[in-house]
Amino acid sequence: MANKQYSYYPGCSSQNGASSSNLMKSVESMVKLLDVQLNEIPDWNCCGASIGYAGGGELPRIALSARNIALSEQHNPGQEIVATCAACWLATREAKERLDHSATLLAETNEALKEAGLVFKNEAPPARHMVEVLIDDIGYETLKSGVKKPLEGIKFAGYVGCQTNRPFGIDGESFENPMYLDKLIESMGGEAITNYDQKVTCCGGALAFSEPEKSQKQIKDIIESAYDHGADMIVTPCPLCQANTEIYQNEVNKRYGTKFNIPVTYYSQLITVAYGGSGKDAALDGHIISPTKLVDIASK
């Protein structure tokens, strides 16, 4: 029997063969090592992400999240929903907040859900981010105590990004300078660049696709600052941040004449490695730019 159980919402990019499948794999390894059980919401659907507004109005987008919450309430009763993707978490929390405040939206949402044979009972508490499970339910000290291979000698630029940080953010953290990622890095024995000044800069999000020039300027700033502060690698909680800052480095190099080649990892990979997981457990093979220093520790 696992220590803690949650209703798990992985999201579209955290599927086999999808852009953040390495987040999914490393999270699965991490929770096993931490004795946490994740029960996937059966038949969950896409949250609509931040860009869905162009095609869907407010109510259809709320219905997407309401369906996930309703499924969770039905199949994983009494369990808090935990998301690993920033957009999934934000959309799920936001939908509940909107439904809490508008009787009209609540009535219409339930009318729509009825078509899928579901009811939004609004019993579940607001959705949580996996990071909150780590720092609130487990705690830095406990996390630290289980470290088997401290991530010594690696300097990390903790890139928090936008949607894990705004508008909700991790409880108790500031929007302008959240510290939890640095604290997680330090708990794992790594060195955090606490004055990394692009910590909460936007990577362009979905507009990396539609407005590449404008977004790559953002990505360049984020990576450049990590280099300026002597980072060995960037670490982030957000799948879109990870994808944008890793896969576009070549494009940025072409555009700006830079020679960026810095790995971008997930906090879940750090914890998996520090807890003694293998490189495969941590999905370190799932990178275009290999985080060699982390690979070295994992294979020690």
Partner 1 sequence: MSIEKYRKNFLKEVEERVEEGQWVKMCMQCGVCAGSCPFGPHWEHTPQKIFMMIRAGKREEVLTSDSMWMCTSCYNCVVRCPRKLPITHIMHGLAYLSKREGLMPKNQPTAQFGQLFWDNLTKNGRVNELKLSLGMYFKDGFSQGIKNAMAMQSVGMGMMKAKRLNPMEILGGHGIKDKSGFSAMLKKAKELEDARRKLA
Taking only Cα atoms into account, the Rg of the chain, rounded to an integer number of angstroms, comes to: 19
Shortest gap between Cβ of 231 and partner 1 (angstroms)? 21
Shortest gap between Cβ of 263 and partner 1 (angstroms)? 12
Shortest gap between Cβ of 254 and partner 1 (angstroms)? 10
* Residue 36 vs 62, nearer CB to partner 1: 62
* Residue 168 vs 275, nearer CB to partner 1: 168
* Residue 172 vs 209, nearer CB to partner 1: 209
CB 232 within 8 A of CB 155: yes
* Residue 110 vs 187, nearer CB to partner 1: 110
* Residue 5 vs 253, nearer CB to partner 1: 253
Q: What angle do CA 46, 2, 44 make, to 5 degrees?
A: 10
Shortest gap between Cβ of 126 and partner 1 (angstroms)? 16
| Cis peptide preceding 150, ω within 30 of 0 | no
Residue labelled with tokens 């004449």: 257
Shortest gap between Cβ of 189 and partner 1 (angstroms)? 26
Integer Cα distance of 236 and 256 in angstroms? 24
Helix (H), strand (E) at residue 252: helix 249-256
Helix (H), strand (E) at residue 158: strand 155-158
Q: Specify which residues 233 forms β-bridges with.
A: 156
Q: Given the rule CB under 8 A, which residues bind partner 1?
A: 12-13, 15-22, 43-46, 48-60, 62-64, 67, 104, 108-109, 111-118, 162-163, 166-167, 169, 175, 200-202, 204-207, 209-211, 214-215, 218, 243, 247-248, 250-251, 285-288
* Residue 174 vs 195, nearer CB to partner 1: 174
CB 157 within 8 A of CB 233: yes
Shortest gap between Cβ of 121 and partner 1 (angstroms)? 16
Helix (H), strand (E) at residue 142: helix 140-145
Specify the length of the chain in residues. Answer: 300
